[in-house]
Amino acid sequence: MSETIVKLSQNNALMVEQLRQKGFSDEQIVNDAIARNLPIDDSMFEFDFNELSNFVEQELSTLQSALRDGYQIKYNTIRGIRCWILIVFEQDPVLVFDAGKEAVFATLNKAQQQQIQQVLSHGWQLSLLNEETGEVVIKPIG
């Protein structure tokens, strides 16, 4: 793991994870992004993978480091956290939008909890609600 974890935009992180879910290896993501040979996204997200290719043109080493060593998302939104959980863990969490009580509720095993804690941007915290079931809440700090 590198000393400083790289940061990706929420959209770039979601595109990377969508490609991984489609079976792309990390090397294939990089090579196809460079070659502008990424597929058309036919998922509900309809990502424009040309944006990832544009990012690679400017920040190739950042993407390589993110794929190799992990990443943190620069700025999360509640809907972005939902999408990340949906793509990576294939689970659709419950969202609460009440003013001052915004939250994402999900059931995650320990490895998943650790994985999402590493990618969450500053300003968000994961709290374990039920150790037995793995129910967690992710909400803004403060």
Q: Model confidence at 2, in pLDDT bands (50, 70, 90)?
A: very low
User: Could you read off the pLDDT of 11-63 as tens digits, one per residue?
Assistant: 999 999 999 999 999 999 999 999 999 999 999 999 999 999 999 999 999 99
pLDDT at 3: 63
Cα 13 from chain centroid? 5
Average pLDDT in the chain: 95
Work out the average pLDDT over 70-89.
97
pLDDT at 83: 98
- What is the rounded CA–CA span in Å between residue 39 and residue 15? 11
Select from 93, 98, 99, 97 the least CA-distant residue to 137: 93
Q: Which amino acid is at 86?
A: L
Q: Find out whether 77 and 121 touch, Cβ atoms under 8 Å.
A: no
